[in-house]
Structure formats: C-alpha cells, structure tokens
Amino acid sequence: MSAEPHPTLPPVRLPADAELARDALGAPLFARAVRLARWAGPDTRVEVGGELATDQLPLAAQELGLDTADEDSVVYASQAWRVAVDIGLVDVTEPEEASGEAEGEPGTDVSGTAVPGEDLALVTGGTPGDVLDLWLAALDAVLADAAVPDLDDLVDALDAGGEIDFDRLDWNPGREADFLDGVLANLYLLTVAEGGTADGPVPLPVLAASMVAPDGMGDPTDAVLEQVSDAMMRLDDQFRQLEPIGLVEYRPVDEALMAEAEAEVEEPVEEPVGDAGDDEEDVSRYGMVRLTPLGRYGIRARMLEAGVEAPAVGELADKGADALLDGVARYPEGAAQAEIEQWLAGRELPAAVAELLAAARGDDEGAPLRRLRCQQALAPAGPEAEPVVRAVLDDPELGGLARVWLAERGAADVPAPDGAMVFWLTVDTIAAQLAADGETEELPLLMQTLTAHHTGFFDQVWRVDHPATADVLEAMGRLHPDKKAAKEARKAAFKARSRQS
C-alpha cells in the first residue's frame, strides 16, 4: 500500500456549459471576431494569408466601434480578423486564387475576397458546446500568437537577407509554447487545489518563480532573481494578450516599476519573491492574474486533449455508485462532498444508499477508501435510509460503518460490535486515511485515539483478517506518538506479515 497521495489533479468546479458559452460570447476578442465575420462581404479585400488589406483595417476598426484616431485600434481589428479567419467564422479566397489570368500582370491591383463562414451560424444557432468549441479554437490561435516574440525583437533578429535569424533571436517556438503551457498549468493547479487561490488572484512573481526557481529552494540567488524578473516581463506581455479572449483577468505590472528597473534603481522581484505576503498593495504592483471560470474550462480542455487526468465536479453524477466511489476516492474532502451531493440529488435515497453500500464492499487495495467515501456519502442521509443501513449490520465489511451511522443518529437497538469487528474497523479506518491523505500530521493522533481504549491492542490486531493489516501496523510503528506503542506495532507488523506469507 502506498502512503503517497495519488498524483492526479484536483477536480475543478465549473459553471454549466450555457453560462460558459455566454462568457465566451462576451469575451472582447471573440465578440470582435464575430462582429467582423458578420461585416465581411463583397467589398472586403484581403491579402496573402487572409489578412485584411491595409486600407480595410480602419474600416474594420470603425465597425468595431474603436477610436480610429488611436493607432492601436487597427491592431485590435487585425487581431480580431485573424481570429475570425483562423476559427472558420470567415472564409477567405487569397489573391493568388482570385486573380486568375490577371496574376502577375504589371500594374494590376489584385486582392482576395472574404465572406462569412458556415461556422458563423453556430454563434447564434448552435448549442453551448458549439460556441465553446469555437472559443477553444480561438484560444489556441491566441496562445500561438502569445508565444511569438514582439515585433521589435523580430526586426532586430532579421539577417542581411531579410530572414529571421532564430539563433540571434534566441527563440524556440516549441520551447516558448511549452513554457506558456507550463505557466497556465501551474496557474490552474494553484486555482483548483484544495486550500488554493480559488477565485483569488495569483501574484505574477509567484507564478514566474514556479517556473524558474528549483523545488525546495530557500532564499533565491541573484541568478534566480534575474530569471524570475525576465519571466515576469515575458508573462506580463503574454497575459495582456490572453485577457481579451476571456482566459484570465490580469492586473499588469506597474509601468513605474518597469521604468525604475530600466533605470536600475531597484530590482523588481526581490521583495515579492521573498516577502509576497507582507504588503498586498506592493505585491499587486508586480502583476496579479486570475484564471476565470471560462479560463478553467479552457485549460482543462487542453489538458484533457493532452492526455492529462483533469476531473471536474459533476461528471460522475450519471455514473453508478462504483464509479462514484472510485472517482472521488482521491478527491479532496470538499470536492468529494460536492460530487457526492450532485450524485445523490438525482436519485431515490433508499435505492441510492443500497447502491453505495454494495459498491463499498471489497478486499482490494482501494476498498478502505471507498468505504470512507461511502460513509461520507451517507452522512447527510435522513431516516428513510435507516432500513437499508440496518440491513448490513451483520456484514463483516459494512457492519462497523452501519453501526457508526446509526449511533450518530441516536438510533435505538444498535447491537454492540464484537471484538473482531472493532479491530477490523480500526485497520480499515487507518488504511483509508493513509490512502486518502498519506502520512499526515493528524494521523498519529487518530492512531493514539483508536488504540487507547483497548488493552493488549497489538497482541490481537495482527490476527485481523484484513488485506491492509501489515501495512497499517507498519505505519503505526513509524507514526504512533507513544514510543512503547510504536515498538509494539512494529512487532505486530512482523507477525502480520509472516501470517500473510
């Protein structure tokens, strides 16, 4: 039996698809792409690659309601147009396809054409899932753009022939994409972890350090601080690009800090990396990022596509009790409770309780944890569940669980367990806790509590016919706070192991 927690991601809580689709439609960049797709028509001219012709960009910006006096307006229009083309909201015919015999004729101004694409109809006529699929495609396009160096860096890296010198640029497309994926995965984990940030923002230095600083590092070295600072600046630019698609809410790095850094007045990462919790206002100046509910959906979808196990609360609601108990076995307690409540909500309670009890049986390695989650699932059950629970009082695997449930409700005529059941239940309970959380700080106290009321506990428990007996006794030998009891546990573990073999 392993004492280490299962290395899967915690389950994420997501709104319904309809709510997520509304969020997607409201994301500024996606909304602009839809609007330009509807605007496209016979007079819309495009260049090679499907880009809008230069003289079309101010018209597109005007269509989007942007201030055409602002030079950034055409940048926003161009970005929205690229997204619309990339995800199929616009169909383009590029110049070389449209020009026919006129191609290559001197003085001929040839342009491609653009019309609304078939997928545009899905925005208003499709299902929420259709809208979310379009948004995910848009997210892929934006992430690809975010991993590209800015224009100034590209211009600086041009060689004499006008080609990009990638060695001079020090940019590897795959490496940059992997870095951004890693950052978003870390942000996702910080968001969904039990006791994590949930809806709170994450300081940008913390996120940058998670990608740069070695695990278990104490005070960061100057070299690490410099790497964190560089990563922060990269992420600042990337999160500015990712916010309009609705993936994150982002408070950028204070421009005054960047000016100070350029003037070498102060090093912007020293204080937040070392003392991120000391001054919330100061830390926020270094950038704060929050993954939106739509962002959680998007990152999870990308993880699932990559083969990562990324569960979501509610996805077991239509499964059987066996799938439920196996599925929530490794969930944090709060997420497990939420999943169980959704599963119970659509079922008749007596039948659901009977199904849960049946699924909790077994002598395999995962059975103790299934029984622990079954006990958690039965906790909110009312009087109508009592006949079903009483029916398993004589069951060697479920009888102890049933007695605990009935006693907690003050039920009458609950038979006392015999010694064998008490010891079996003790082993099962500790085995479940080890499987759920590993060797936690609370576990020694539980062991002490369970053994304190039984004289000669270790003389008898090694005989318990439970697959986890030896493992549990070995854990008690390591963790029991009483040294004498720990020694007795180790002796009992040896006897149990010999008996099993």
pLDDT, tens digit, for every residue of 38-54?
Answer: 999 988 999 988 999 99
Q: What is the pLDDT of residue 109?
A: 54
Q: What is the pLDDT of residue 394?
A: 93
Buried b (16+ CB within 10 A) or exposed e, 143-177: beebbebeeeeeeebeeeeeeeeeeeeebeeeebe
- Name the more confident of 285 and 288: 288
Q: What average pLDDT does the chain have?
A: 85
Q: What is the pLDDT of residue 467?
A: 94
Question: Does pLDDT of 98 surpass 80?
Answer: no
Question: Does pLDDT of 276 surpass 70?
Answer: no
The percentage of residues in the chain with a pLDDT greater than 70, rounded to a whole number, is: 83
Domains of the chain, by residue range, sit at: 17-146, 169-297, 418-501
Residue-wise pLDDT for 391-417, tens only, equals 999 999 999 999 999 999 988 889 999
For residue 160, name the pLDDT band (cuts at 50, 70, 90): low
Q: Residue 289 — φ and ψ, nearest 5°? A: -130, 140
Residue-wise pLDDT for 313-325, tens only, equals 999 999 999 999 9
Question: Does pLDDT of 263 surpass 90?
Answer: no
Query: How many residues are there in the chain?
Result: 501
Instruction: State how far the Cα of 356 lies from the Cα of 263, in Å rounded to an integer.
Output: 65
Buried b (16+ CB within 10 A) or exposed e, 363-397: eeeebbbbbbbbbebbeebeeebbebbbebbeeeb
- Name the more confident of 161 and 87: 87
Hey, which residues does 92 pair with through a beta bridge? Answer: 114
Q: What is the pLDDT of residue 3?
A: 33
pTM: 0.79
Q: What is the mean pLDDT of the segment spanning 247-275?
A: 64
Which of 2-11, 219-228, 479-488 has the highest mean predicted lDDT (pLDDT)? 479-488
Question: Does pLDDT of 154 surpass 70?
Answer: no
3-state secondary structure of 93: strand
Q: What is the mean pLDDT of the segment spanning 136-155?
A: 79
95, 202, 300 from 250: Cα distances, Å: 39, 10, 19
